[in-house]
């Protein structure tokens, strides 16, 4: 059965994930290393991991697999999810794929290097309504793709 894993620290689309999960009756694991407000929603499993830079990523990567969906803004976690056969979607609705993850990792490393040398500042543009809409569509598309694949 498909499950959705959310890398919840700094995730702006947790509510959207739950809305899509409700439509399809999917379990959602909201994984964070900080306290979360309990939702009481029967499909949502809050998971609080130990503090540490990759504790939430490690928890998700150990459990997500074929037929699951990982929601994350963390490119290395997306790569790990893809390696395990899970789908991975960024918070802005851009899906990570086997053909795009290498470039995404390279761009991440380049931008980190540019920030360290002072040649680039800050992050990307603020999260927009269009990003939220694109995310909802991408998650719905991913769920539908998994359903089609499991029927085949």
Q: Write the pLDDT tens digit of every residue in 75-101.
A: 899 999 999 999 999 988 989 887 776
- pLDDT reported for residue 150: 80
- pLDDT reported for residue 40: 78
CATH of domain 3-97+127-151: 3.40.50
Mean pLDDT throughout 114-129? 73
Cβ-proximal residues to 11 (8 Å cutoff; 6+ apart), any chain:
71, 72, 73, 91
Does 62 have pLDDT greater than 80?
A: yes
Place of tokens 């793709």: 145
């Amino acid at each position: 059965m498909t499950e959705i894993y959310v890398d919840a620290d700094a995730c702006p689309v947790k509510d959207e994930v739950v809305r899509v999960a409700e439509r399809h009756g999917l379990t959602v694991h909201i994984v964070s290393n900080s306290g979360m407000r309990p939702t009481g929603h029967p499909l949502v499993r809050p998971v609080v991991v130990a503090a540490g830079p990759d504790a939430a990523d490690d928890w998700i990567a150990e459990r997500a697999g074929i037929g699951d969906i990982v929601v994350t803004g963390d490119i290395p976690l997306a790569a790990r999810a893809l390696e395990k056969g899970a789908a991975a979607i960024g918070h802005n609705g851009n899906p990570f794929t086997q053909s795009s993850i290498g470039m995404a990792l390279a761009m991440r490393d380049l931008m980190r290097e540019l920030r360290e040398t002072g040649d680039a500042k800050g992050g990307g543009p603020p999260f927009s309504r269009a990003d939220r809409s694109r995310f909802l569509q991408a998650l719905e598309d991913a769920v539908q793709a998994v359903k089609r694949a499991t029927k085949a």
